Structure 1
Amino acid sequence: MNAATTRPTTSAVLLAAGADESSRALLTSRLGDTTVVEAALATVRTVVADEDITVVVAPGDTTVREALGEHLAYVEQAELLGTGHAVSAARERIAHADVVLVAYGDTPLLRPDSLRGLLNRYALTGADLGLLTAVVDEQLPYGRIERDADGVLRAITEATDVAGATAPDDDGRLEINVGTCVADPRALLARIDELAAEGEHRLTPVVRRFIDSGASVATYRIYDTDEVQGINTAAELALAGDIVLRRLFEPRRNTDTHVVFGTGGWRAVIGEGFTLGNVRRLCQAIANEAIRTGIDARGVVIGGDRRFLSRESAEAAAEVFAGNGIPVVLLPDDVPTPLVTFAAPHTGAAYSIVITSSHNPPDWNGMKVFRADGSLPLDPETDRFQDEANALAPGDVVTLPLAKARATGLVVDRSLTDPYVDAIEEIIDVDAVRGSGLRVVVDPMFGTSQLTLGTILGDMRVRAEFIHAAHNPLFGGVAPAPDEERLATLKSMVASGGYDLGMATDGDSDRIGIVDASGRYVETNDLLLVLYWYLHEVRGERGGVVRNIATTHLLDRLAAHFGERSRECRVGFKYVTAAMEEIDAVLGGESSGGLTVRGWLKGKDGIFACALVAEMLARTGKGFAELLADVHAITGRLHTLEASVPATPDMRVAVPRRLAADPLTRVGGYRVLGVDRTDGVKILLEHDNWALLRFSGTEPLLRLFVEADSPEKAAELLDWLRGFVTA
């Protein structure tokens, strides 16, 4: 390698001596899950190796050393004369390097990209000095950057003398000197020494000396004011703590090394978080778990839905498991998620895996993993999967080319459509539906239910017309969720065509949407209520019911009427099925459209649910509206409303803080009976009325739910929630 291509050596100095005891105490104060100085060091570490970092501390101070650890190099600033003098204290450590980065221990919120941008601009421009600046809306306690008409840096005005500074830019914004800089250490130390001889020991005058001497200065601007929040007082520490909390909830691009499980598997934007590399790493982590626990010989079942990259990802997953010596059943073409849920217990596999992101928008994909019994792994297990996957390098993944895996029998292509359909028809009373003359319209929303649901309806002799059934990975340009606003065509066809029912399933077929004979969208809360009555009273299946916290309390009333138990659980279908086992419930469901029954899958199944609804209408001989009226005669009426508001980072900090501070004795004019903080904040009112605020686990949204004994009261409660969270 010649000199022109040799990578320059970069060292860093982290200034952590503080001006006095108070400032040093702040350096080691807690900030989020770390300390101030640790947070500052963590950012520097993203661009400079530990062995090239020097931490400057006060004479005799041990607190910073204790916080950062003894593996770093420390030098003491003999006298606390200023920041330039502090850099000079590290002279012996930095003089050998080509580049030195100077950073501050009391400015811990700089992002790694800001330091990378500064170093990159300094290197590419060949400047004598690189300086980090920030564009802000108001003057902060930093020096003001002054530029000429050509944008060239001409001066830095001290924060104490901003009255003499030039006017703000046309947009009213100011540019300030953050203080972090980069230079050739020999040139930097030479100017520090020059000024020290004149009695000046601060770093800002050193930067001015560069400017005044005609040296070239490259600046890298940052535009996030939060980054420049220094910590010199307890009040500033509190502000920094709020910033850290907001950052935790900022929407992030899921990069190629970041796998995160939510309530229903791993989901990410295609080309950002969802990549074949991440699919392989996650599958390697699951394969490792199977080998560690001795269940690898049982193999895995893998399938994919109709989304972009689903087939390629399923095949990539098969190559990883085969590479680890784990047998694979690879399902052909596109398959619904419930079929994959069914596959693990049906085949005796250790895991079944489906490539899908359910009802997310078309530019998303993801993966759901099911255990041997068809249940979703709980948080401790998915935490292990994601943590191990994120720790793996591409070279840690073991693969076997698919052609060789097929040739050796490690990968077997096999369809499970017939066994899945047969299993449903063993539970559903197919004969009862035959001869009923049911006419339905089915909307798979361009998803995966057409083959399986079409086969079942055909066996029932139901006259079914399918819409939106073609293979379209764009899903018609919308997220394939069976919500009322996305089922306008289905509603219109049912009403105008004299059909008995409209059925819809989401993109991967595990959620259901129903339209009654009048073309009215049936709320899932109402569907669950009628299905529970039907299972208990018509099919004679005794047992309780499970609902999540956002689902109607009328299910509890109906269970009490039957003398059965009801159970509330957290959002996430894995919690629904776990609670069903605990109380031997006959039905479990959630207001978002997922449900299952005892004796079927330990996961939600929109295809099975559609078949069950057809059976219910055929056996009772009644339309859905009539059935609902019969059940309401038992339970009374409650009215549900829900809404979503964008969950900004500020809101994720402010709303929990406001909820913690507010005793919540009344909501509007209604007395509060209790507050449940198990999953979000659920406010319990009289007469089974309630209001729920919950941040989504899969989208940047704050979800609001209410249930009340009149439509007007429900609207009033929802308005109160909106006002509370946006105040």
Structure 2
Amino acid sequence: MAEMSQKTMETVQRWLNDPTVDEETKKELRSLENDPLELEERFYRDLEFGTGGLRGIIGAGSNRINKYTVGRATQGFARYILESHRGEGKPSVVIAHDSRHYSPEFAVEAALVLAGNGIMAKLYPSLRSTPQLSFSVRHLGASAGIVITASHNPPEYNGYKVYNSEGGQLVPHEAERVIASIQEVDSFAAVKKLTREEAEGQGLLVWLGEAEDQAFVDTVAGISVNRDLIASSLGEDFKIVYTPLHGTGNIPVRRVLETIGFKNVYVVPEQGQPDAEFSTVKSPNPEEREAFTLAMKLGEEIGADILIGTDPDADRMGAVVKNGQGEYVVLTGNQSGAIMIHYLLSQLKEAGKLPENGAVVKTIVTSEMGAAIAKHYGATVFNTLTGFKYIGEKMTQFKKSGQFTYLFGYEESYGYLAGNYARDKDAVLASMLICEAAAYYKGQGKTLYDVLQELYGQFGYFLESLESRTLKGKNGLAQIQAIMTDWRSNPPEEVGGIAVQEVLDYAQGLDGLPKENVLKYMLADGSWFCLRPSGTEPKIKLYFAVRGQSLEDAEKKMSNLSGRVMARVDA
């Protein structure tokens, strides 16, 4: 075991000697005794609890997600909840889970640890979406929420996300307290836990169901701005193909679309059922064209007007429409966001319901096109760091101060929310809104592609792209840090002949935002690019944005900008 550090050896031995660790887990670890590199990867650190919670590969080890790391995290979270609880009666936590391996088991594990700490766990018995969890925390007046999901990560991953009493993911100052609380849990023996029978008998484990499901569906459907029109005429012959990509979206998306009046919703049969292996796709990610292969085939067969897809926990939505040549085009998150802002704000204005103090919130890596449209309708635009938790935090600030009325928030990574019912992105709502917009414009003889071209003509040809490099494990983490250090200490003066006008280093805490390891370079022609290590995956992401006089001009600028930046990153 020469390649294993002394610390790792000691940690492995501690797991093997721990009476609270089951025999199956110990057997898995013993099977790896001739693979020191694998043991080093599994034990060189504790799985990091970031602002989004835990996310990692399933398996035995301190740097893996398993019932022990979930139990320890829940014990720390329970302490935080008990210290923070100010209301009357027992604190309570809503728990939901997706279709991944061990998601139901991890959800029950979390519930029984909460119960062991005297906290009531309100648990959904089968898969539910992340946005429904956010809604339910608010709707049921819970102290907090937990969702077991790894979003659109590969099948070997799972995750554990925690939510505050507002239904939002923890922002840094909250997460820091939870992390400190988890670090105090120095052994698995310190994790308090009841059996399922004890928890149910003491009223500390409560099962949620149809009443909560219906409340969520009714609330989302209530955001529709042209419900009567869809129900009376537009929904009759409008055809939607939908893929839930083997995840949690199937039932809520169909229920909401039917509720507002869509009659022809076709679910891709091969992808309708939950499947922890996501066996029909390379990645269950609606950001990728490949995820829509089967949906496009079905769309051609039935003559669909729009194709939509949601990721496994149904917080991200992707849409596919036909261009002028009748070919399928996958809309980017920025394009879908721009269309939805335009549709929502124009319809509210037409109905005389657009508030004077309306606000649209986006992230620092999201296109400026949506911002330009929002300002056109008189809305104030706010920028946040990447992560919907920051958009949720803004929503809560608006609600408390009354200074602004929240209208819409979105990220380029296919996350959208309208309405005040949740504090996380909602693919169920986004599916409804994009289909409603498509049906409305079809009534005017236009496709969403036509609408997008009109918006480009009016506001400019905005073009964005995203590049990422996956660098796994201990060495990958070091490489990502080296790239950030290089660009921070040696910023370019120009890129492709265009001067760099400003370097925004968000690690310094700019514009009143929390500190984050993000670099953004503003160029003289209005273009920009941004380097950001992912908080949930072993990746560094690079965002690029340009604005051209025409699509051709924008594409030329993009090729120049991204090509030169990526050449330096890869070098």
TM-score (norm 2): 0.80
Pick closer, same or farther for the CA change 1:725–1:610 going to 2, 3 Å.
Answer: same
Stretch of structure 1 that moved more, 655-664 or 679-688: 655-664
Which secondary structure does the structure 2 equivalent of 1:261 belong to? coil
Pick closer, same or farther for the CA change 1:322–1:649 going to 2, 3 Å.
Answer: closer
Choose the corresponding residue for 2:200, options 380, 403, 406.
Answer: 406
Contact 1:491 1:520 in 2 (8 A): no
Which secondary structure does the structure 2 equivalent of 1:291 belong to? helix
- Number of equivalent positions: 492
Contact 1:558 1:634 in 2 (8 A): no
Which secondary structure does the structure 1 equivalent of 2:286 belong to? coil
1:652 aligns with 2:514: no
Residue 227 of structure 2 corresponds to: 430
Residue 264 of structure 1 corresponds to: 52
Unaligned runs of 5+ in 2: 14-34, 399-403, 507-516, 549-553
Contact 1:706 1:714 in 2 (8 A): yes
The aligned amino acid for 1:537 is: S
1:538 aligns with 2:538: no
Pick closer, same or farther for the CA change 1:263–1:455 going to 2, 3 Å.
Answer: same
Stretch of structure 1 that moved more, 542-551 or 363-372: 542-551
Which secondary structure does the structure 1 equivalent of 2:379 belong to? coil
Report Cα offsets for 1:618-677 as digits up to 9, x if no partner. Answer: 334342112212222221112112211234355334423332343422112111121111
Choose the corresponding residue for 2:379, options 564, 572, 575.
Answer: 564
1:292 aligns with 2:83: yes
Residue 491 of structure 1 corresponds to: 296
Contact 2:112 2:193 in 1 (8 A): yes
Residue 281 of structure 1 corresponds to: 72
Residue 726 of structure 1 corresponds to: 570
Choose the corresponding residue for 2:152, options 330, 343, 359.
Answer: 359
1:595 aligns with 2:423: no
Contact 1:259 1:390 in 2 (8 A): no
Report Cα offsets for 1:238-280 as digits up to 9, x if no partner. Answer: xxxxxxxxxxxx9984549824234533211111421111111
Contact 1:553 1:688 in 2 (8 A): no
Which secondary structure does the structure 2 equivalent of 1:332 belong to? coil
1:417 aligns with 2:255: no
The aligned amino acid for 1:564 is: A
Choose the corresponding residue for 1:690, options 528, 549, 567.
Answer: 528
CA distance in 1, matches of 2:272, 2:464: 31
Q: How is 1:184-583 mapped onto 2 (pairs within 5 angstroms)? A: 253=41, 255=43, 258-262=46-50, 264-272=52-60, 273-295=64-86, 297-392=90-185, 393-415=187-209, 416-428=212-224, 429-434=226-231, 435-436=233-234, 437-459=237-259, 460-467=261-268, 468-476=271-279, 478-483=282-287, 484-517=289-322, 518-540=327-349, 541-542=354-355, 543-580=358-395, 581=397
CA distance in 2, matches of 1:650, 1:394: 30
Pick closer, same or farther for the CA change 1:110–1:614 going to 2, 3 Å.
Answer: closer
CA distance in 1, matches of 2:464, 2:158: 31
Contact 1:258 1:390 in 2 (8 A): no
CA distance in 2, matches of 1:486, 1:461: 24
Report Cα offsets for 1:390-436 as digits up to 9, x if no partner. Answer: 43111111111112221232212121211111111222243332231
Contact 1:356 1:367 in 2 (8 A): yes
CA distance in 2, matches of 1:535, 1:458: 20
Pick closer, same or farther for the CA change 1:411–1:536 going to 2, 3 Å.
Answer: same
Choose the corresponding residue for 1:677, options 505, 510, 530.
Answer: 505
Whose RCO is larger (CA < 8 A, sep 6+)?
Answer: 2
Pick closer, same or farther for the CA change 1:653–1:406 going to 2, 3 Å.
Answer: closer
Contact 2:80 2:181 in 1 (8 A): no
Contact 2:151 2:313 in 1 (8 A): yes
Pick closer, same or farther for the CA change 1:355–1:661 going to 2, 3 Å.
Answer: closer
Contact 1:525 1:552 in 2 (8 A): yes
1:112 aligns with 2:6: yes
Unaligned runs of 5+ in 1: 1-108, 120-221, 225-249
Which secondary structure does the structure 1 equivalent of 2:544 belong to? strand
Residue 633 of structure 1 corresponds to: 457
CA drift at 1:578: 2.5
Contact 1:264 1:573 in 2 (8 A): no
Report Cα offsets for 1:340-379 as digits up to 9, x if no partner. Answer: 1111110011012111111111111111111111111111
Report Cα offsets for 1:116-165 as digits up to 9, x if no partner. Answer: 79x9xxxxxxxxxxxxxxxxxxxxxxxxxxxxxxxxxxxxxxxxxxxxxx
CA distance in 2, matches of 1:665, 1:257: 38
CA distance in 2, matches of 1:533, 1:502: 20
Which secondary structure does the structure 2 equivalent of 1:478 belong to? coil
Contact 2:4 2:39 in 1 (8 A): no
Pick closer, same or farther for the CA change 1:538–1:287 going to 2, 3 Å.
Answer: same
Contact 1:304 1:334 in 2 (8 A): yes
